[in-house]
Amino acid sequence: MTRINKTSKFAIKGALAALALGLSAQGALAEKVKVGLLLPYSGVYAALGNDIQAGFELGLETFGKEYDFVIANEDTEVKPPQGLAKARKLILQYKVDVMAGIVSSGVLGAVRDLVDGAKVPLIVANAGNDDATGAKCSPYITRMSFSNAQVNRPMGKWLAEQGVKKVFTLAPDYAAGRQMIDAFTASFTAAGGEIVGQEYTPFRKTQDFGPYLAKAKASGAEAVFVFYAGGEAISFVKQYDSFGLKKDIPLYGSGFLTSSLYVNAEGPAAEGVITSLHYVPTLDNPENKAFVEAFKAKTGRLPSEFSAHGYDAARALVEALNTGARGREGIANALRSVSFTGPRGETSIDPATGNIVQPIYVYETVAGENGLTQKVLASLPVEADPANGCAMPAPK
């Protein structure tokens, strides 16, 4: 594997020359595949981007030994116009065979038309934007992470079944926040629950959640349900506790809130928070045990859902190549039929939408021997997302 170091002009120049000559650092024996990684290496989701990259590289090392991957990284920050410019650079300048990554639903929304028009396969390794596998689906977009609705829809029903009937919701004001809360709200109210208040906080700009927490407190809610991730999740969970709400109104959310990537930065404030997600490092299956051990050996820390997305995105690429698929069109087509048993359990791509089908777990953050850990409370039924307006020809 050849890495184009995002910070080194010399490395970029050298790798670009290698790309142009059709050469690679490993020589001519292994087959060369040019991969563009579009990730945030700065901004509120920088840690997520780095974790996805660590998982992706481990996945290529584990499953893709026969291929010589040349990786070009580009920093999307958390800004849709920046993401679009960087995607264009990977496609036109680096001439990549395939792109992977994208953390923010906003960035995914911005690059969708470019990817579809340029016919370049994109393996989404985080962004949950429902439209990308719904009304704005594309035969060139395959999602190996989750959709915003998929993670939150089952939680609405589950929470109502636990007897919680009045909920206040909060999320950042951008596509992911709105879609996650919409999905939770639809299933929670269908199961008899009531939303007693709902607020959206300015994305990447809110440092003081106090005014929103005051509204939650005054709302008469029995519970608060939120989506926050990365740096915003750490601030929110700590402020929820220090505001004194946690002891009176239990906190629930989508599982990014208490990701294993940063839960120990949240500290005791995160203890007892219950959330839903498609991956936690404590899942008890052999594929996950192997992944956790290999990730720990490589990085010295536990994996998170973000590293699992990277790892599975790399495996999906290798599985597509192993079918004999080559070139942008061939890889895009083969990605739509990928399925394997991985760290999250049975995972497959729904060829009708390009979205992943996978189990969803409810977990509680609890104190463990080495800090906070995840106790799985329930495994919710595997459900493919509805097509939501997606109409694509079947894969060839």
Provide the pairing of β-strand 274-277 with 360-368: antiparallel
Q: State the sign of the Cα–Cα–Cα–Cα dihedral 45, 47, 50, 51.
A: negative
Q: Is 203 in the site for ligand BEZ (CB under 6 A)?
A: no
**Closest separation in Å from C-beta 103 to ligand BEZ:** 5
Between residues 236 and 256, which has the closer beta carbon with respect to ligand BEZ? 256
Q: Is 158 in the site for ligand BEZ (CB under 6 A)?
A: no
Q: Is 216 in the site for ligand BEZ (CB under 6 A)?
A: no
175-202 in b/e burial notation, b at 16+ Cβ within 10 A? bbbbbbbbbbbebbeeeebebbbbbbbe
Q: Is 128 in the site for ligand BEZ (CB under 6 A)?
A: yes
Task: Please pick, from the candidates 87, 229, 360, 372, the single residue that binds ligand BEZ as defined by CB under 6 A.
Answer: 229
Closest CA to 169 of 145, 205, 193: 193
**Closest separation in Å from C-beta 388 to ligand BEZ:** 16
**Closest separation in Å from C-beta 105 to ligand BEZ:** 4
Q: Is 256 in the site for ligand BEZ (CB under 6 A)?
A: yes
Distance, in Å, from the CA atom of 322 to the CA atom of 314, rounded to the nearest integer, reads 12
**Closest separation in Å from C-beta 20 to ligand BEZ:** 34
**Closest separation in Å from C-beta 57 to ligand BEZ:** 20
End-to-end, the C-alpha distance of the chain in Å comes to 30
Q: Is 361 in the site for ligand BEZ (CB under 6 A)?
A: no
CA distances 342 to 127, 249, 308, 339, Å, are 20, 36, 9, 9
Q: Is 44 in the site for ligand BEZ (CB under 6 A)?
A: no
**Closest separation in Å from C-beta 276 to ligand BEZ:** 12
Distance, in Å, from the CA atom of 157 to the CA atom of 212, rounded to the nearest integer, reads 25
Q: By CB under 6 A, which span of 97-105, 153-161, 189-197, 379-387 interacts with ligand BEZ?
A: 97-105
Task: Please pick, from the candidates 35, 98, 103, 160, the single residue that binds ligand BEZ as defined by CB under 6 A.
Answer: 103
| Residue corresponding to tokens 């929110």 | 236
Q: Is 308 in the site for ligand BEZ (CB under 6 A)?
A: no
Distance, in Å, from the CA atom of 263 to the CA atom of 303, rounded to the nearest integer, reads 12
Q: By CB under 6 A, which span of 79-87, 103-111, 240-248, 383-391 interacts with ligand BEZ?
A: 103-111
Q: Is 147 in the site for ligand BEZ (CB under 6 A)?
A: no
Between residues 255 and 343, which has the closer beta carbon with respect to ligand BEZ? 255
**Closest separation in Å from C-beta 174 to ligand BEZ:** 7
- Asked if 392 and 141 touch (Cβ cutoff 8 Å), the reply is no
For helices 210-218 and 230-242, what crossing angle results, to 10°? Answer: 50
Q: Total binding residues for ligand BEZ by CB under 6 A?
A: 11
Q: Is 115 in the site for ligand BEZ (CB under 6 A)?
A: no
Written as six digits, the tokens of 14 are 């050298």
Q: By CB under 6 A, which span of 101-109, 110-118, 244-252, 350-358 interacts with ligand BEZ?
A: 101-109
**Closest separation in Å from C-beta 306 to ligand BEZ:** 8
Binding mask 164-183 for ligand BEZ (x = CB under 6 A): ------------x-------
Q: By CB under 6 A, which span of 13-21, 23-31, 125-133, 313-321 interacts with ligand BEZ?
A: 125-133
Q: Is 392 exposed, middle or buried (0-12, 13-18, 19+ CB in 10 A)?
A: middle
Query: What is the DSSP secondary structure assignment for residue 395, as one 8-state letter?
Result: P
**Closest separation in Å from C-beta 292 to ligand BEZ:** 21
**Closest separation in Å from C-beta 149 to ligand BEZ:** 11
- Asked if 382 and 341 touch (Cβ cutoff 8 Å), the reply is no
Return the half-sphere exposure (C-beta side, CA atoms, 13 A cut-off) of residue 42: 9
Distance, in Å, from the CA atom of 173 to the CA atom of 202, rounded to the nearest integer, reads 5
Written as six digits, the tokens of 337 are 């039929």
| Residue corresponding to tokens 């959709």 | 147
Task: Please pick, from the candidates 2, 24, 82, 105, the single residue that binds ligand BEZ as defined by CB under 6 A.
Answer: 105
Q: Is 55 in the site for ligand BEZ (CB under 6 A)?
A: no
Chain residues in the site for ligand BEZ (CB under 6 A):
45, 103-105, 126-129, 176, 229, 256
